[in-house]
Every structure is written in structure tokens, then in C-alpha cells.
Amino acid sequence: MTSPDILTKYSAGAQDELRRVTECFPFRISSYYRNLIRFSGDPIWRQAVPDLRELEDLEGLEDPLAEEALSPVPNLVHRYPNRVLWLISHECAMYCRFCTRKRRWEKPLPFTDEHFKGALDYIGGNRNVKDVLLSGGDPLLLPLSRLENILAALRKIPHVEIIRIGSRIPCVDPGRITPELAAMLSRYHPLFMNLHFNHPWEITPQSRKACTLLADAGIPLGSQTVLLRDVNDQPEVLGELFQQLLSLRVRPYYLLQMDLTRGTSHFRTPVATGLKIIHALRNRISGLAMPHFVIDLPGGQGKIPLSPNYVQEINRSFIVFKDYRGERCEYPLLEGEEGELRRWLVA
């Protein structure tokens, strides 16, 4: 669904404003995700529906992670030494308004047989590449045979040990996860999936069924949640989400600070917000439910994990921590380790 007119029952009279935004940043939503909207401006609405503030962001970057500059061949990004990101699909079930690849919505690079061969040749010719992440768009929107051909081609490359698929389909259009798809994916282990859930309202019977099919196929599932202003920037909201994800056998993996993408600045929170949330949740929810809070640095310099400062003092005999309740705790040090510890823990 690509016309703002479908939102009339939620926001009568706002269609002209929505169309102004979609002239620059298109709109798309699945019927399933649209039906999760409870009222205009709710956390589901904010993720999916165009906002005039997208046109007011003049400082955001077209390509904040320098993916194009780090592409040795079209649609393939080689940022880290031993892994690559391969963009294999343009299609999305929904255009997330905070998407880091908004630049590609209207002007995607073509996917040609030549580009496909070029990416495979690059991966096959670089023995340092052990891990391939398939993304897009959404790889799970490809025809089943096309996706299987890509997986089979990667499995023929001896040095590719791990294949990962990044997808939001189990969250925004879970009916597309079928037993046939799960069975096909299970033939290409070790295969992991990075899913994307941002709010507890996205945990539904349908998304549970989709995740169950994938988990029962032996696919380890993780979720990369984006920290979004007025969507999920409260400890209670994210705590509920992370615990619910575990019940789906989805491990919360990253809590991501917003990228500096043009048209998304109204979603950005202060960096301290993420640190406060992690501090508020530590030891109050299961350790399995605690993600890493990270910033994906501009310019393609990689992800940096951030953690609240629990260290209060370092001396020759012990290190002093403040625990999650704010109480002091001393931990003894080995003789001579103070100096090295300071280099790691003190700016």
C-alpha cells in the first residue's frame, strides 16, 4: 500500500501534508502493519507514516555510514575486514521513516546479472570474507528460488563460514514467513537472522508464529532495535519489548542510536537517553534480554558500544563500582594491574 489515502480513517484532513512528504520520501505500508495502528501518532504510526519534519531536516546525511564509498562493487559494502554486507533486494514491505537507506527509495541501484556476478566474484576472491550479511530492501521478499540461488552460490565458496539475513518481515508482514521458506533456509546452515522489532505492540500472534517457524528451523534469531524518540525511548517500553522477544526465541542484540540520515532527525534522542535506559534495565530484566547499546559511527567507521559508567574509583588495591541500586562495591585487584586498567576504563 503506497497511497496516504488509506490512512484517512486515522487522520482525516492530513492527506495533503502526507503527499508533500511522499514527493520526496515515498510511503509504503503492509496491510498487516497498518492494522496495528491504534490511533494517529501512536508508536506504530510514527514508524510508518510520513511526517512533515522529514522535509525540515537539512543537516542529515544522504549516506551516513558511507556505504557507497565502501562499495568495491555495486550493492556490496565491505566495511569490516572479515565480513561484507550484500544488498540483494530493493523491495520492502514497509518504508520505515527512520531508514538509513532512504536515499535508495526513489533511486535504487539496479540489480543486474552482471552486478550479481561481480558481488559473488568479489566474495569468492577475498579469502578474508568469512561472514556475509544479506540485506536490502528485504531479502525475504525475493522469490523463493532467487533467494535459494543466492544462498546456494554462497555455500559453494569454501571460506564463507557464516550467512546472515537482515529482515523486518517477521515484524511488519509475518504472513510471508511460511513453512516452505523456513525449510529452504534450514538447508543452508550455519545461517542467522537479524530481525527488527521496536515496540511491544509489534509482538502479536502472527509475529510469534513467524518467529516460531524460523526458530524451529534451527535459525538463531536476534533483534536490532532502533532507539526512537516518542516511540520507544522509555525503559518500561524497551524492557517489555526485550523480555517479550526472548519469549519468541529472539535475542535482543543491539539497541541502536539513530543514524544521522537526512529526513530522520526528529527521531533522534540524546545519546544519554540510551545510557539511562540501559542503566535502568540492568539487573532488572534477564541478562539474556539486555542488548548492546551502540552508535554506528558516521563515515563508515563502525559500531561503538556504549555502557553507563559504573566505575567510581581505581587505586592500587581495588576498583570501586556503583551497582545498579547506586550502592558502593569494592573489587580487589591483582598487584600491578591498576595502570593497564586505567588505560581501558578511564578516558
Q: Which residues are catalytic?
A: 79-80, 83, 92, 96, 99, 101, 259, 296, 303
Q: How are beta strands 311-314 and 318-322 bridged, if at all?
A: antiparallel
Q: Using an 8 Å Cβ cutoff, are 323 and 329 in contact?
A: yes
> CB under 8 Å to 314, separation ≥6 — which residues?
320, 333, 338, 341, 342, 345, 346
> Nine-digit cell at 28?
509504503
> Nine-digit cell at 234?
522509555
How many CB atoms sit inside 10 A of residue 164's CB?
A: 20
In single-letter form, the type of residue at position 115 comes to H
Q: Which residue has the cell 533522534?
A: 268
Q: How are beta strands 76-80 and 83-87 bridged, if at all?
A: antiparallel
Instruction: Confirm whether residue 96 is marked as ligand binding.
Output: yes
Q: At what angle do helices 235-247 and 271-281 cross, to 10 degrees?
A: 60
Q: Which residue has the cell 578511564?
A: 346
Half-sphere exposure of 185 (CA within 13 A, CB side): 26
Q: Using an 8 Å Cβ cutoff, are 166 and 119 in contact?
A: no
Instruction: Confirm whether residue 24 is marked as ligand binding.
Output: no
Instruction: Confirm whether residue 99 is marked as ligand binding.
Output: yes
Q: How are beta strands 292-297 and 250-256 bridged, if at all?
A: parallel
Q: Using an 8 Å Cβ cutoff, are 290 and 252 in contact?
A: yes
What is the secondary structure of 97-132 as a DSSP string? TT-TTGGGTTSPPP--HHHHHHHHHHHHH-TT--EE
Judged by DSSP in three states, 62 sits in coil
Among the listed residues 63, 89, 91, the one whose alpha carbon sits nearest the alpha carbon of residue 2:
91
Binding positions for [4Fe-4S] cluster are 92, 96, 99
Binding positions are 92, 96, 99
